[in-house]
Structures are given as structure tokens and as C-alpha cells.
Amino acid sequence: MAFSPCAQDDALVTRLRAGDEQAYAELYRLVYPRVFGFALRRLGDPTEAEDVVQDVFLQVYRSIDRYEGRSSLLSWIFGIARHTTLSRFSHRSLQMTSLDEAHGLAAPIASVEDCIDASRIWERCTRFLQRNVSATARHIFHLRYSHGRSVAAIARETGKSTGAVKVGLMRTRRILGTLTLGA
């Protein structure tokens, strides 16, 4: 049986709210593969994806009373999965290295050929973005990656919220990811 939004959502939600363990088992069986795949595609690590799935279903269990039915139950669950996955990124800690340990870790100096290649790749990316994203998105992208501005600084400069800047950068990177640089 496939999971599809309809009156089945209402019946399942009613059972979930009543604490029906079979309803939770059914929901888990139906939705687990999709939530796991969603998390795995974003995180690239099966263990972390499994943790996300467990967190998502725990959140569903804890907050099913807040489900308002404005979207399908599946969409609501994917909203929780998206939030949970994004919070994994924001909570990943950077590994700290002491100055003594970092002594031999300095980046090698780029050769002239590497600099020329990087310049050509940047020019190709710029041309690609010129054809595929709005002027505002290009401006935000260049402020971030050409000028090294922080998201907060870009938000102030463009009059957008930090969330809008982050989403815009994410979309532009996703679009740029479709460009094959080797061709």
C-alpha cells in the first residue's frame, strides 16, 4: 500500500492522536524509506540519515497534536525531516587543530596553471549563472564567493532576510551543480 494524501490522512492522524501503536507502525513502514532516502541524499552518511529518521519519528510522535491538516501528512513529515536534516548541518562542529599540529598543514602554493584553471572555471560559472539565475541571485552569489561577505552582511546590503540569502545561495549552488566543469 502506497502512502498518498487523502481521507486516509485524517483517519491515520485520528489513530495516531489516540496513541494507536499499530498506526505508528503503519506510518513508519510507509514513510521510513522516503524519509531515509531524503536524509541520505542530503547528508551522504547512512548512519546520520538513520539518526535523522529516528529524530523525525520521535518529533512526529511528540507533535502529532499540532498537525493542522493544511498540507498532507507526508508533506508535514517531510517538513520535519527537512528541519531535522538542516539542524544536523548547523550542529556539526568544526574540528579544532592546535597551532603546533597545524604547522605542516599549510596549503601548498598554487601553480600558475592552477590559477589559470581556477580563473577559467570561475568565468565559466559566471557565464552559466548569467543565463540561469536572476541578477539578484548572481549579486548575492558574488558577494559571498567573490568578496567573502558574511550572510548577515549580504542581508544588510541587499535588504533581504538572512534566511532568504541562505536559501538563495543554496538554490544558486544547486543550479550551479548542474554545470559540468570538465566539458
> What CATH number does residue 78 fall under?
1.10.1740.10
Q: Report yes or no on 52 lying in a domain.
A: yes
For the chain, what is the domain count? 2
16 plus 83 within the same structural domain: yes
Percentage of the chain modeled with pLDDT above 90: 11
Q: Report yes or no on 156 lying in a domain.
A: yes
Domain coverage including residue 153: 123-183
128 plus 179 within the same structural domain: yes
10 has pLDDT over 80: yes
Q: Report yes or no on 97 lying in a domain.
A: no
Task: Kindly write down the DSSP assignment for every residue of 123-180, as one continuous string.
Answer: HHHHHHHHHHS-HHHHHHHHHHHTS---HHHHHHHHT--HHHHHHHHHHHHHHHTTS-
Query: Rounded CA gap, 137 and 154, in Å?
Result: 11
pLDDT in tens, 136-172: 888 888 888 778 888 888 999 999 998 888 888 888 8
Q: Report yes or no on 112 lying in a domain.
A: no
pLDDT in tens, 63-75: 888 888 888 888 8
